Structure 1
Amino acid sequence: MSTEHNDLTAANREAWDSKAKEYDAKPWQKKIASQVAEALNSHADWLGADWASASDQECHLLDYACGTGSVTRALSTHITHATGIDISSAMLSQYTSLLSSTHPSLVLKTSVADLCSPDPQPSISGPEFHNFDIAGVALGFHHFANPATCIANLASRLKKDGVLFIVDWLPNKIAPGEHIGHAHAHPDSHDHNHNHNHVKEEETEEWKKMKKTIKTNGFTEEDMRKIFEEAGFEEFGFVVLGEKFVLEMNGKKVEKTGFIAKGRKV
């Protein structure tokens, strides 16, 4: 694995371990979680997975970079089994604790693993970590050192005709297809307190830590199509979400235009 991958993984693990208990506690975080849930539910037919049915058909979800389980909660009425995988054990503890109390009918499983790594993952080598009906990542993709490797690894976990979806956001203030490294990612987005004099701003300690976790300043439709198709997916689809995500970063409000990308494994 590259030094960049190791450094980014370490930064993400440290950040998410420290934030697990308060990760989605702030009003703006709750708002984004509800937006993701609404987007996934309103596009459930479009996603086209083999959802759970009244005839006792099971549906198994792989929720990668699952955090505290916003994707699992969002799709809870469509699935019967959920497997949360994350690099942060603290996040997985929250995932299990929150979901077991609020969604007792779901069959839950978790594991610590890094699907951005090309190396084998012994912890998820068993059959229970394969043949998923649907897999997804919500708002984690821009943190990944190797998005294409992650997509390929997720593909290997899906059954034939299984569906993969990614919820993330479009780039801001950059040319189509251009990627900006983590040092410039979120601060260059459209915000409500832009400093027109370009005076260096004070950075909060929280932002200094978070900035180290960001790899890419969003993805275009062309970016996502290429990654999906190179991993062997067909029926690529891409929808831009109407309501912007509003993040609060370093004392500023930052707007991001979200999307859902999907593909079907053949």
Structure 2
Amino acid sequence: MADFTEQNRQYFDKMASTYKDNFANVVESLSNLTRDRRLWMSDKWTDTEAGKGQEIKMLEYACGPGHVSIALAPYVTKVIGLDVSDNMISEFNKNAQEANLSDKMTGRKGDLLAESFSEEMNSPEIFDFDLVVISVALHHFENPGLAMKRLGERLKKGGVCFIIDFVPAQHHEFDKEFAEAGKTVKSHGFSREQTWELFEGAGLSEGFEYEVIQEPINFTKDGKTFEKTIFVAKAKLV
């Protein structure tokens, strides 16, 4: 598991400084989707009756440069981004500062699939979240079930886990064009049944929903555009 994580770390370290520009369409699509779906994923935000006046903590795991966190940060009191890539964490914190959100957004290096955790990862601050988000990253985890279980352990009771990822698909031209990225991929999408099993195994069995997004997201490389169909899913910790 350590070798696979290291492969991911190296790849995303290399991608970090250009990710926002190279995948501008994806960043915009995921940011808009997350913002538009926030009331679907939870009714507890700083601007809603259910969350008004409360501390609302959010964790984005495998946060990358933080575009999803930036989309949701105005509606929570605190966001922590965790990623195995040092360079992605640097981009996360830089982008938070540029968005004037560094007062509530902090990125830290962290690996929930590690055999043992650092003192910082065992800090009470990295527990009791109201919301955990994993955006187009679950397919990179060597053990998605273990990742979900450990994320579930960091939610407070009634907290929500929200996932965006790819629906299952056969290999096609996309995989050839993004062959280097393919080396960091463990799962080629998740069906409704597979996603339910991941949630249930993590104790996240209340209010499960899985919805395929009809409008695909577009990846562009060397003038070519490739479409990928994504889904959103959510459930609460009971």
Q: Structure 2 length normalisation: TM-score? A: 0.90
Aligned to 2:217: 245
Residues 59 and 222 (structure 1), Cα distance of their counterparts in 2 relative to 1, 3 Å cut: same
Unaligned runs of 5+ residues in structure 2 are none
Distance in 2 (alpha carbons) for counterparts of 1:243 and 1:189: 19
Residue among 104, 118, 122 paired with 2:119 = 122
Q: Any conservation in 2 of the 1:117–1:149 contact (CA below 8 Å)?
A: no
Report the count of equivalent residues. 234
Distance in 2 (alpha carbons) for counterparts of 1:87 and 1:230: 23
Residue among 33, 46, 62 paired with 1:52 = 46
**255-264 or 96-105: bigger deviation:** 96-105
Unaligned runs of 5+ residues in structure 1 are 174-187, 195-202
Aligned to 1:34: 28
Q: Any conservation in 1 of the 2:149–2:202 contact (CA below 8 Å)?
A: yes
Residue among 181, 187, 197 paired with 1:210 = 181
Q: What is the DSSP-based 3-state SS (H/G/I as helix, E as strand, rest coil) of the residue aligned with 1:159?
A: strand
Instruction: Point out the structure with max Rg over C-alpha.
Output: 1
Q: Any conservation in 2 of the 1:163–1:265 contact (CA below 8 Å)?
A: yes
Q: Any conservation in 1 of the 2:212–2:232 contact (CA below 8 Å)?
A: yes
Distance in 1 (alpha carbons) for counterparts of 2:43 and 2:149: 19
Q: CA deviation digits over 1:202-223, x for unaligned, max 9?
A: x77xx45322111111110110
Q: CA deviation digits over 1:94-129, x for unaligned, max 9?
A: 111111221336412232111133533432111111
Distance in 1 (alpha carbons) for counterparts of 2:135 and 2:89: 15
Distance in 2 (alpha carbons) for counterparts of 1:94 and 1:16: 11
Distance in 2 (alpha carbons) for counterparts of 1:105 and 1:56: 20
Q: Any conservation in 1 of the 2:70–2:101 contact (CA below 8 Å)?
A: no
Does residue 263 of the first structure (1) align with residue 222 of the second (2)?
Answer: no
Residue among 204, 207, 219 paired with 1:235 = 207
Q: What is the DSSP-based 3-state SS (H/G/I as helix, E as strand, rest coil) of the residue aligned with 2:21?
A: coil
Residue among 86, 94, 97 paired with 1:97 = 94
Aligned to 2:150: 153
Residues 212 and 249 (structure 1), Cα distance of their counterparts in 2 relative to 1, 3 Å cut: farther
Q: Any conservation in 1 of the 2:25–2:219 contact (CA below 8 Å)?
A: no
Say what the alpha-carbon RMSD is for the aligned residues: 2.2
Residues 251 and 219 (structure 1), Cα distance of their counterparts in 2 relative to 1, 3 Å cut: farther
Q: Any conservation in 1 of the 2:60–2:79 contact (CA below 8 Å)?
A: yes
Residues 243 and 129 (structure 1), Cα distance of their counterparts in 2 relative to 1, 3 Å cut: same
Does residue 222 of the first structure (1) align with residue 193 of the second (2)?
Answer: yes
Deviation of the 1:254 alpha carbon: 2.6
Does residue 172 of the first structure (1) align with residue 155 of the second (2)?
Answer: no
Does residue 23 of the first structure (1) align with residue 19 of the second (2)?
Answer: yes
Aligned to 1:81: 78
Aligned to 1:7: 3
1:262 is matched by which residue type in structure 2?
K
Deviation of the 1:249 alpha carbon: 5.5
1:39 is matched by which residue type in structure 2?
L
